[in-house]
């Protein structure tokens, strides 16, 4: 069991490294540099001497392979480089932003799980009823609502009209500030979880071993309790793990909208400024978070499902 | 029908609904099983054997439903029972084993626990007592080292062992009727005989009647006292096992018997191709008019194509559904 977890963690190393390489190469291919991005605002043009000094300081004149070599060398010592903009170590910049994004991602997934999974369960057990119809229609709508529009509507209703919750910002980090952005971000995964759960439960309801359970004289409630739940859980958990990735990716939009000081908004600002060390660092952290969550899900699935070997 | 019949099925009809239209998937099926008797139902895939068994245990699901006839079990009309009453019967007095022992067991639950459920459900036992009895139940179906096997999950057992678990589960409450839906089809030939012996031995010991479904005529000949041959949702011939194999009357039964491979047949008669019945079982939604077997029957006449034959009693107290039964 412990060696299974360790092995899964070690497997993450090559994944992270290859992703680091892809990001690095991508940013050396796309047009625009740190210097050119500062000229882009059109207000002033940087002195050529200053530009040359900046490029020299950050080693931006070096060929790609040298810069990549340096970058990998830094990674080996867990150094993510220095931000072009703030001249702080990237690790420090990221450390401040990581917690708000983790908070937002966890809260929105919590929202998605608490509402989506039971909804899917009930819809499947009452297949064809009005509960089923309503929940599946709302699931499709939830999946197709644009996040920024949903976010604006939530702000308008709960902050402006009703005045129950703050409209944006991180505030003191309290839960009040977290509610609206988490809902805006959590509605899509909730809808998807509801649909997946429903499909999973319906499929298991038709499985041979459920027929066996009925042939044993079990009531439907017992069938659900003794035979259905655990089997459904394995698939639902895997979906939850994968949804985490989507949620962190889409947090960019919601963080921007709600002025949430997370990795997403940092990422957008840093891309615009071509603050490449920060961009690379932020993406790496997001990837790492996603991998960790999914490793956790795999471990839990292996505990539930004896067919999965601890190898 | 005799008074001591355990199960009496009269004019059973099972409908399949497709887009609001109902088609009879099983029709005019009547038979009876005495206590301790083994009754065999044979026929090709898709002719209605399995859904007949599911109807007997009350497990038909949409789009299939019982549309007519009666099922009397120990004097009680099952169609009159409430869902709750039917549920009490399932597992305790009527139980069932299925064809695929891999998928018929819950993959995430230890087999001992799955057997123990029967004691909790029907005997009101607590889990500890039930788990202990599960060990005994496994020992009775001759699973080696049962006290260790109860902790195993289905995927850790072989097909034969899994089917033993199914049998242990089905017979643990001493049911009056066991429905066995092709219990050995998915197993190795060597294991088949052991499983059949086990079913025969345990059902005989408890006086359990067995309703055995198979397309394997050899198995049916071996196990059963009475045999029904089903084709396209109807019983076409119903006889005592010895007479049906010696002198089949319905062309379909004759075809089934002729298509059996005979050991040594090739060396005796030189190269000889196995006989087959041409064509396939028609789908429920497109049963032919007249006798349902007429498109595949070598002796079909205009009468067969126009008129549905009725069930005719034979001198040996068997029944046949054919215009030309003599």
pLDDT, tens digit, 9 for 90 and up, residues A78-119: 888 888 888 888 888 888 888 899 899 999 999 999 999 999
Of the candidates B88, B109, B166, the beta carbon closest to that of A217 is on: B88
Asked if A305's CB is within 8 angstroms of B108's CB, the reply is: yes
Q: What pLDDT does B2 receive?
A: 43
Low-confidence ranges of chain A (pLDDT < 50): none
Q: What pLDDT does A107 receive?
A: 93
Structure-token pair, residue B322: 């054919």
Neighboring chain B residues of A227 at a CB cutoff of 8 Å: 106, 109
Asked if B105's CB is within 8 angstroms of A215's CB, the reply is: no
Q: What pLDDT does A41 receive?
A: 65
- Cα separation, A276 vs B133, in Å, equals 67
Under 8 Å between Cβ of A76 and A151 = no
A219 in contact with chain B, both atoms CB, cutoff 8 A: yes
Asked if A227's CB is within 8 angstroms of B122's CB, the reply is: no
Asked if A222's CB is within 8 angstroms of B106's CB, the reply is: no
- Number of other residues whose CB lies within 10 A of the CB of residue A238: 16
Q: What pLDDT does B1 receive?
A: 39
Question: Prior bond to B81 cis, omega within 30?
Answer: no
∠ CA A239-A244-A249, rounded to 5°? 130
A217 in contact with chain B, both atoms CB, cutoff 8 A: yes
Q: Where are the domains of chain B?
A: 5-93+179-190+207-320
Asked if B107's CB is within 8 angstroms of A307's CB, the reply is: yes
Secondary structure (3-state) at A73: helix
Q: What pLDDT does B139 receive?
A: 92
How big, in percent rounded to 5, are the helix, strand and coil portions of chain B?
Answer: 35, 25, 40
Q: What pLDDT does A155 receive?
A: 82
Task: Check the CA dihedral B153-B156-B159-B164 and report its sign.
Answer: negative
Q: What pLDDT does A19 receive?
A: 87
Asked if B90's CB is within 8 angstroms of A217's CB, the reply is: yes
Domain topology for B5-93+179-190+207-320:
Rossmann fold (3.40.50)
A227 in contact with chain B, both atoms CB, cutoff 8 A: yes
Of the candidates A207, A215, A230, the beta carbon closest to that of B95 is on: A215
Structure-token pair, residue B231: 């084709």
With CA atoms as reference, report the closest residue to A248 among A105, A111, A96, A142. Answer: A105
Secondary structure (3-state) at B165: helix
B115 in contact with chain A, both atoms CB, cutoff 8 A: no
Buried b (16+ CB within 10 A) or exposed e, A14-25: eeeeebbeebbe
- Chain-centroid distance of CA B53 in Å reads 6
Task: Check the CA dihedral A189-A195-A198-A200 and report its sign.
Answer: negative
A218 in contact with chain B, both atoms CB, cutoff 8 A: yes
A309 in contact with chain B, both atoms CB, cutoff 8 A: no
CB pairs under 8 A between A and B: 72
Q: What pLDDT does B136 receive?
A: 93
Low-confidence ranges of chain B (pLDDT < 70): 1-3, 263-273
Name the DSSP class of B156: G
- Cα separation, A273 vs A257, in Å, equals 19
Asked if B122's CB is within 8 angstroms of A307's CB, the reply is: no
Asked if A306's CB is within 8 angstroms of B153's CB, the reply is: yes
Q: What pLDDT does B146 receive?
A: 93
Asked if A231's CB is within 8 angstroms of B87's CB, the reply is: no
Best of B51, B97, B108, B121 to disrupt the A interface (most A CBs within 10 Å) is B108
End-to-end Cα spacing for chain B: 24
- Residue B26 pairs in a beta bridge with B14
Asked if A215's CB is within 8 angstroms of B96's CB, the reply is: yes
Q: What pLDDT does B251 receive?
A: 92
A270 in contact with chain B, both atoms CB, cutoff 8 A: no
Neighboring chain B residues of A219 at a CB cutoff of 8 Å: 87
Asked if B89's CB is within 8 angstroms of A305's CB, the reply is: no
Q: What pLDDT does B268 receive?
A: 53
Q: What pLDDT does B239 receive?
A: 93
Of the candidates B96, B103, B155, the beta carbon closest to that of A207 is on: B103
B153 in contact with chain A, both atoms CB, cutoff 8 A: yes
Asked if B100's CB is within 8 angstroms of A231's CB, the reply is: no
Under 8 Å between Cβ of B111 and A306 = no
B151 in contact with chain A, both atoms CB, cutoff 8 A: no
State how far residue A1 is from chain B, nearest Cα, in angstroms.
18
- Residue B17 pairs in a beta bridge with B22
- Nearest C-alpha in A relative to B84: A219
Write out A226-285 in H/E/C secondary structure. HHHHHHHHHHHHHHHHHHHHHHHHHHHHHHHHCCCCCHHHHHHHHHHCCCHHHHHHHHHH
Asked if B59's CB is within 8 angstroms of A215's CB, the reply is: yes
What's the alpha-carbon Rg for chain A, to the nearest Å?
Answer: 24
Q: What pLDDT does B212 receive?
A: 95
A305 in contact with chain B, both atoms CB, cutoff 8 A: yes
Neighboring chain A residues of B87 at a CB cutoff of 8 Å: 217-219
- Nearest C-alpha in A relative to B173: A216
Domains of chain A: 2-90 (no CATH), 95-304 (1.10.3720.10)
Asked if B91's CB is within 8 angstroms of A306's CB, the reply is: no
- Chain-centroid distance of CA A260 in Å reads 15
Of the candidates B59, B108, B153, the beta carbon closest to that of A211 is on: B59
A307 in contact with chain B, both atoms CB, cutoff 8 A: yes
Give one DSSP letter per residue of A107-141, joined into a string.
Answer: HHHHHHHHHHHHHHHHHHHTTTSHHHHHHHHHHHH
- Nearest C-alpha in A relative to B116: A216
- Cα separation, B17 vs B244, in Å, equals 34
In the stretch 164-193 of chain B, residues with CB closer than 8 A to chain A read: 166, 169
End-to-end Cα spacing for chain A: 8
Asked if A304's CB is within 8 angstroms of B108's CB, the reply is: yes
State how far residue B100 is from chain A, nearest Cα, in angstroms.
8
Give one DSSP letter per residue of B296-323, joined into a string.
Answer: G-TT--HHHHHSPPPPEE-TTS-EE--T
State how far residue B148 is from chain A, nearest Cα, in angstroms.
16
Q: What is the pTM of this model?
A: 0.83
State how far residue B96 is from chain A, nearest Cα, in angstroms.
6
Q: What pLDDT does A61 receive?
A: 75
State how far residue B175 is from chain A, nearest Cα, in angstroms.
11
Q: Give Cβ neighbours of residue A211 (< 8 Å, ≥ 6 apart).
A: B59, B98, B104
Q: Tally the C-alpha atoms within 13 A of residue A33's C-alpha that lie toward its C-beta.
A: 12
């Amino acid at each position: 069991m412990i060696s299974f977890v360790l092995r899964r963690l070690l497997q993450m190393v090559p994944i992270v490294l290859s992703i680091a390489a892809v990001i690095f190469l991508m940013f050396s291919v796309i047009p625009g540099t740190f210097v050119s991005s500062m000229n882009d605002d059109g207000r002033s043009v940087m002195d050529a001497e200053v530009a040359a000094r900046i490029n020299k300081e950050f080693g931006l004149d070096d060929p790609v392979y040298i810069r990549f070599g340096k970058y990998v060398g830094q990674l080996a010592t867990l150094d993510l480089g220095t931000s072009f903009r703030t001249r702080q170590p990237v690790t420090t910049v990221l450390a401040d932003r990581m917690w708000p994004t983790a908070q937002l991602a966890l809260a929105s997934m919590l929202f998605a799980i608490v509402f989506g999974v039971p909804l899917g369960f009930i819809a499947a057990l009452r297949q064809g009823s009005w509960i089923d119809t309503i929940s599946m229609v709302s699931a499709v709508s939830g999946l197709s609502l644009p996040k920024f529009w949903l976010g604006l509507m939530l702000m308008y209703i709960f902050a402006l009209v009703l005045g129950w919750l703050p409209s944006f910002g991180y505030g003191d980090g309290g839960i009040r500030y977290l509610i609206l952005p988490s809902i805006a971000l959590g509605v899509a995964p909730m809808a998807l979880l509801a649909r997946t759960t429903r499909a999973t439960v319906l499929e298991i309801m038709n499985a041979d071993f459920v027929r066996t359970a009925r042939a044993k004289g079990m009531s439907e409630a017992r069938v659900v309790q003794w035979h259905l739940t655990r089997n459904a859980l394995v698939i639902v958990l895997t979906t939850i793990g994968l949804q985490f990735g989507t949620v962190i990716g889409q947090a960019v939009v919601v963080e921007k909208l709600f002025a949430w000081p997370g990795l997403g908004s940092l990422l957008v600002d840093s891309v615009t400024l071509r603050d490449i060390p920060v961009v690379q660092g932020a993406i790496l952290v997001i990837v790492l978070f996603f991998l960790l969550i999914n490793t956790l899900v795999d471990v839990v699935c292996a505990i539930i499902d004896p067919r999965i070997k601890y190898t | 029908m005799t008074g001591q019949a355990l199960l009496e099925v009269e004019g059973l009809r099972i409908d399949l609904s497709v887009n609001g239209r109902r088609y009879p998937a099983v029709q005019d099926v009547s038979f009876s099983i005495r206590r301790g008797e083994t009754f065999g139902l044979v026929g090709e895939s898709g002719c209605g054997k399995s859904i007949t068994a599911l109807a007997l245990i009350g497990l038909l699901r949409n789009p299939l439903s019982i549309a007519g006839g009666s099922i009397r079990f120990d004097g009680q009309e099952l169609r009159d029972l409430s869902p709750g009453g039917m549920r009490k019967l399932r597992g305790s007095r009527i139980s069932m084993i299925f064809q695929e022992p891999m998928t018929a067991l819950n993959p995430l639950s230890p087999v001992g626990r799955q057997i123990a459920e029967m004691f909790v459900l029907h005997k009101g036992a607590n889990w500890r007592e039930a788990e202990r009895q599960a060990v005994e139940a496994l020992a009775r179906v001759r699973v080696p080292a049962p006290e260790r096997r109860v902790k195993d999950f289905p995927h850790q057992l072989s097909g034969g062992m899994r089917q033993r678990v199914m049998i242990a589960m089905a017979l643990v409450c001493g049911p009056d009727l066991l429905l066995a839906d092709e219990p050995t089809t998915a197993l190795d030939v060597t294991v088949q005989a052991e499983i059949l012996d086990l079913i025969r031995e345990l059902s005989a010991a408890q006086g359990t009647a067995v309703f055995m479904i198979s397309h394997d005529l050899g198995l049916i000949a071996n196990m059963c006292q009475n045999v029904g041959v089903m084709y396209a949702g109807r019983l076409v011939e119903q006889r005592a096992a010895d007479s049906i194999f010696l002198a089949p009357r319905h062309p379909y039964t004759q075809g089934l018997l002729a298509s059996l491979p005979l050991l040594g047949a090739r060396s005796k008669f030189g190269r000889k191709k196995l006989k087959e019945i041409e064509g396939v079982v028609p789908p429920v939604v497109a049963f032919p008019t007249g006798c349902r077997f007429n498109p595949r029957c070598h002796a079909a006449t205009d009468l067969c194509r126009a008129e549905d034959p009725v069930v005719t009693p034979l001198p040996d107290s068997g029944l046949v559904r054919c215009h030309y039964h003599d």
